[in-house]
Structure 1
């Protein structure tokens, strides 16, 4: 019998973290707001859940209509709305709690953004900190000591794998200096995320994307690695929905064949717009859905369109929604992989907790986790010190891999431990 938890009080705070400009989706991000939601139950116990906001990723039209701080402020207001709704209510299941909050917070988001077609991912992004806090409170009140114990029984099959290693995947936007990409390959990174979908017209975009792929492949396409079945470095392409038609995607793939890069493309993420219902199961490479798979039904719809993998982001679309998506994909024998939102080190381990438990893609024998915070946060080394298990083996990338051994699972990647830094955001003077 699960414990009924009544929320006595809530609070919300955030910190701005500056980035080296991260360009994608035809625009750029220069800062990311780190949100912290504080929940206190009637028993007097409190827990803090973290989130990282990304308006540009979650709804490009909202980001485009406002200043960077303005778009972040709108998302932050939605997190606050959720916490206000939670005061005085009781819940036993964080997933049911999210379902309740999502409808009302999404309606509120439509109102304050003035967008009747606000993407649900924008709302889910605003709810990550709230959802994480609810899960931590739920774990404490029910005396769950590990991440595995915390996951409801019906959602465990999709997270039943135990990878001993998880590939660490860095990200490189179009226009990145080839020397940087080569340096990453020299450090042992063997799956590289290439952010395509350059700014400009479709013609300008495709020309830049093709040139970028050519330059990357010329520089590192010949590298050898012990981690892939054919011994070659792999490319993970992400166009963030910028390709206006399937024809554009096919032209990109034709070029990859001409330069000899086609067989090294592990997958292509979100090449087409969200409303494009083209069948993509016949293009010769795995096409993955990410931001268009807002909910479990969206993920199922994408699978029916021939998408061969679903990208999950527990740190962007909530742990609650991610559990539903992973289980639905497991039942349909469709693989999932974990991708980043350029989150802070603690959230990297929330994401890694999913990645380590997902069955590998058919071509690999390890988990996959995109993590690019170390590339873009100006103060990444300081953020690392906020992690309660800073320096633990599983937090370090070595030769492109995270080691997720016995201590990683036994300690649940440290996510149940408190962070003194984020606790200090709620100390009342």
Structure 2
């Protein structure tokens, strides 16, 4: 069964911190000129909040970044304004993904608790405040939330993504509240004018990208092939020393390609098998990655690799333009400023993770990449069915990925959550046709775009968590 824990304003005994946090924001001028070109005149106004979470168990341990997780916290933020508008926002916390050092020091439960503490602190900061848009809200509070995180984790070099991940449920609820306050009923109308060019496409087909982790069994991999998946994400960077990691990754690539790599290396639907390697920063040198790529060439896998994501530690300042494959940034592109640094280092792809870094930050990163003709794709963070459709709204509006005639969306919740079928029932449109995968892809009809994937509908299950 799911476990939950509620936190409301009444639970915070030191109310004086609210005034201190608010004063530091400098928000007296609600319509300050940030240059975002917001379409709507009504600012986001927040009066009060509640928050809660559920721990959703996984079918088996999910391995990446040299570690494993066994459950994921589904965090819910409820925001209300003075007019009685009330919204629910969801987020999935992943401390291992956002800063594995915190998980190493605090363990799985401890690092989740630390991240949730940041969520609660951020809610204190925005209570009774107004912001021009949710984008401005995240801009205004991010530095202070990060600074708070450095104190409670005892990590002065806390990765910015840890703070952003803590803000996802708040940001999600803020966009919903902003929509109600401005009578917005479609995803594309949420996007301020300045950013719309990055979301100007309309993909009616999106590749559904499953994820193969260290612990994914051979039978499960074979099932993915039998189900027609053609764009496959593979977690590389196996646990162990750099040499041990490299040897394990080489063997894993051979094993997977032996399963997927038919004589034509195509699915029954005629699509070429494509691999997307995610190292999560585990390769400590360019030479080690080259050795893996050389091995992939030897076993005739290299031509099937479309993306190598986040191969190196964030601190490694190395030009990647000569590696012969498309190198994409993910967690190192915390913000649009960080994404620009990666582009200047030769990265030619950006993984957008709106439910890992907030929709607000994702919109800014997408614009930066669009302006520089850097392709983007949408990735998952093992989110719940409701958030999959948020991701789908984004993936459907991005320019098709090079070499593909459709959008890309990594989504692996169905592979990993023990209660996935139950969670589908939490989504009012969870069984809609656009959520069915056929030959490795989602087909999006006009009903999907008209309903924006059902993201504006009431979430009865998550609302019920706040009933006393």
Aligned to 2:390: 350
| 1:242 and 2:285 correspond | no
8 A Cα contact 2:228 2:269, kept in partner: no
When the two chains are superposed, the root-mean-square deviation of aligned CA atoms in Å is 1.1
Report the alpha carbon displacement of residue 226 of structure 1 after superposing the two structures with TM: 7.0
Aligned to 2:50: 11
Aligned to 1:177: 217
Give runs of aligned pairs for residues 17-416 of structure 1, distance below 5 A: 17-19=56-58, 20-222=60-262, 223-225=265-267, 231-416=271-456
Report the alpha carbon displacement of residue 225 of structure 1 after superposing the two structures with TM: 3.0
8 A Cα contact 1:53 1:126, kept in partner: yes
Q: Provide, for residues 200-243 of structure 1, a one-character-per-residue CA deviation record: whole Å limited to 9, x for no partner.
A: 00000000000000111122112423777xx4201110111000
User: Distance in 1 between the 2:69 and 2:314 partners?
Assistant: 21
User: Distance in 2 between the 1:364 and 1:134 partners?
Assistant: 34
User: Distance in 1 between the 2:384 and 2:216 partners?
Assistant: 22
8 A Cα contact 2:53 2:74, kept in partner: yes
SS at match of 2:386: helix
8 A Cα contact 1:10 1:40, kept in partner: yes
User: Distance in 2 between the 1:5 and 1:201 partners?
Assistant: 49
8 A Cα contact 2:44 2:134, kept in partner: no
8 A Cα contact 1:92 1:138, kept in partner: no
Q: Provide, for residues 313-372 of structure 1, a one-character-per-residue CA deviation record: whole Å limited to 9, x for no partner.
A: 011000000000000000000000101100000011111111111111110000000000
User: Distance in 2 between the 1:336 and 1:62 partners?
Assistant: 28
User: Distance in 2 between the 1:4 and 1:238 partners?
Assistant: 39
User: Distance in 2 between the 1:346 and 1:180 partners?
Assistant: 24
Report the alpha carbon displacement of residue 67 of structure 1 after superposing the two structures with TM: 2.1
Q: Provide, for residues 153-192 of structure 1, a one-character-per-residue CA deviation record: whole Å limited to 9, x for no partner.
A: 1111001110000000000113532232121011010011
Q: Provide, for residues 380-410 of structure 1, a one-character-per-residue CA deviation record: whole Å limited to 9, x for no partner.
A: 0000000011211111212211112211111
User: Distance in 2 between the 1:387 and 1:179 partners?
Assistant: 29
Structure 1 residue ranges, 4+ long, deviating more than 4 angstroms after superposition: none
Runs (5+) with no aligned partner, structure 2: 1-39
User: Distance in 2 between the 1:237 and 1:340 partners?
Assistant: 15
User: Distance in 2 between the 1:183 and 1:226 partners?
Assistant: 14
User: Distance in 1 between the 2:122 and 2:286 partners?
Assistant: 38
User: Distance in 1 between the 2:314 and 2:380 partners?
Assistant: 19
8 A Cα contact 1:337 1:369, kept in partner: yes
Report the alpha carbon displacement of residue 4 of structure 1 after superposing the two structures with TM: 2.9
8 A Cα contact 1:78 1:123, kept in partner: yes
What is the number of equivalent residue pairs in this alignment? 426
8 A Cα contact 1:5 1:42, kept in partner: no
Report the alpha carbon displacement of residue 86 of structure 1 after superposing the two structures with TM: 1.1
Aligned to 2:458: 418
SS at match of 1:316: helix
8 A Cα contact 1:236 1:266, kept in partner: yes
TM-score under structure 1 normalisation? Answer: 0.98
SS at match of 2:49: strand
Q: Provide, for residues 266-287 of structure 1, a one-character-per-residue CA deviation record: whole Å limited to 9, x for no partner.
A: 1100111101111111111101
Runs (5+) with no aligned partner, structure 1: none
SS at match of 2:155: coil
SS at match of 1:353: helix
Report the alpha carbon displacement of residue 150 of structure 1 after superposing the two structures with TM: 1.1
